[in-house]
Structure 1
């Protein structure tokens, strides 16, 4: 297959490239093609933009993982605009090119996030009815971002193209994401629960995320929304205890919510709120998680 990948230089994206490169022809969209070529190799095609393209007839699949990191900077108005536009505009352009194609890609896989579910103490899966679009102005920022992101991706759906939207949880790995930022404090025995510790943490091992993307590429009966989370979400308190135990360190020092609100502003909700998300549709489709339990997933990552 010839596959167009966006976000290929990111934490998850570069692992997807490694998983696909031996069996498929890859075209990588990057704002910095030369730098990305140095990292990912000269055997792939590279594009800086989609400006000169009128369709996606040359591609069998699209994997859309691009987006400004949501937790790298405080959410100023300017940063919020970057977060939104980096997701909405590129996804809308890919959907448009898919619709303009005579022989469009057979599958369009597009990222989203579990933040679309908002803050909830109840277990949720893909069957949950989300707030109506007309209410989006009053929704928390992550929900607003994800709702439009998913809408523009799903607009690429047709009889010829199946769209799979993956709502990604906390990805566990050492080359990116939240875990490397948490490790220094926990290694010193200074880690612990955040705020009440009751908020859900729906996580996924990096290898399972890469595997489910390839699974969705190859299973032509799969389309629609899929939760990209392990089948055993935990509370923030349980996560802290598991990480401390894996490192053989205590994990009892709490981080009060008001301190995070002072330090991070609105972005603090990423840590003080959460969800218990179940991957029901992936399990029903026959996907098998290699790392379904948190303690074993952490051990696999940290003992390498």
Structure 2
């Protein structure tokens, strides 16, 4: 963020990324407004109801940026028809509500930053892709396409609109790694399936720094991949986890077992996504933790 004090609205402020982002902004002296689904209990809270497409737009007055990180957890439940609908509605309806809200303001924010995901690309196999690649096939790519499209109202209103296509964020207290760290610490970690599938990760520190870079960089709009520059295979990441935690990683979760336990979601766990942050790097962003071992150690600190 620029050195002058800014007012930033954040939806999804209580999640892994949102908590870290709001802390970073607040520590640097910026005012953060948190969008909440209940009645506000503090002066820094603004009411919204994404499913009803309601936003208290008065609370967004004076915001220079509006950031939407809200959405039900992809891996929180088995993908039943009902939960797939929840995954979609929590993203698409919420994004549409916020995009329409910022577009309606007499003095709109300079930037609308909306979360997306590298799930947009589907299974890329061994092939590396960047923002120029088309969407893949399947539930997650179709979800991501609808999710990104829901931000159109902000873009059509002339607001710089950026889609942060997030990779696997490595943090100790949430997300995929919030589940992996305890398993590996207990010596129960190992590769998933063949282990040849690529995982495109990013440290929580770099994720937050990249989001703030997207807010500040006027030349950036549209999709931007937020992933470390060197994606690794599940086998390589598993080995790095073992080295950093000083634990064996001999166990394997066979693909057939994952499909039994996870159902449809197993296809994405076993799928390969080799995603490169081309636009982020071209815009001058520098990673603090580009490698997996330093990323893991940073998370554990």
TM-score of the aligned structures, taking structure 2 as reference length:
0.90
C-alpha displacement of 1:194: 0.6
Cα distance in 1 for partners of 2:155, 2:129 equals 25
> Which among 29, 50, 71 is matched to residue 23 of structure 1?
29
Distance 1:182 1:52 in 2: 38
Of 89, 93, 96, the match for 2:93? 89
1:267 aligns with 2:273: no
Within 5 A, what are the aligned runs for 1:43-82?
A: 44-49=44-49, 50-53=54-57, 57-82=61-86
Query: Aligned pair count?
Result: 290
Q: What is the aligned partner in structure 2 of residue 12 from structure 1? A: 17
Q: Distance in 1 between matches of 2:18 and 2:133?
A: 28
Aligned-partner Cα distance in 1 for 2:261–2:281: 39
> Could you tell me which of 288, 293, 296 is aligned with 1:295?
293
Residue 249 of structure 1 and its aligned partner are, at CA, apart by 1.5
- 1:177 is matched with 175
Which 10-residue stretch deviates more, 174-183 or 156-165? 156-165
Note if contact 1:54-1:100 (Cα within 8 Å) is conserved in structure 2.
Answer: no
CA distance in 2 between partners of 1:52 and 1:43 (Å): 13
Contact persistence 1:173–1:205 (CA under 8 A): yes
- In the TM superposition, what is the alpha-carbon distance from 1:31 to its structure 2 partner? 1.9
3-state SS of the aligned residue for 1:105?
coil
Corresponding residue for residue 276 of structure 2: 278
Instruction: Name whichever of 219-228 and 17-26 sits farther off.
Output: 17-26
> Among 185, 189, 199, which residue is 1:187 paired with?
185
Cα distance in 2 for partners of 1:264, 1:159 equals 41
Q: Distance in 1 between matches of 2:157 and 2:83?
A: 37
Partner of 1:135: none
Q: What is the CA–CA distance in structure 1 between the aligned matches of 2:108 and 2:203, rounded to whole Å?
A: 32
2:116 — aligned with what?
Answer: 112
Q: Secondary structure at the match of 2:46?
A: strand
For the 8 Å contact 2:36–2:46, the answer to whether it is kept is yes
User: Structure 1: how far apart are the matches of 2:14 and 2:165?
Assistant: 20
* Residues 25 and 300 (structure 1), Cα distance of their counterparts in 2 relative to 1, 3 Å cut: closer
Shift in Å, 1:90: 1.1
Cα drift, residue 77 of structure 1? 1.0
1:105 is displaced (CA, Å) by 1.1
- The superposition leaves residues 139-188 of structure 1 with CA deviations (integer Å, 9 ceiling, x where unpaired) of 31111110000111244115741111011111101111111211233223
- Give distance in 1, aligned partners of 2:65 and 2:133: 28
CA distance in 1 between counterparts of 2:103 and 2:157 reads 11
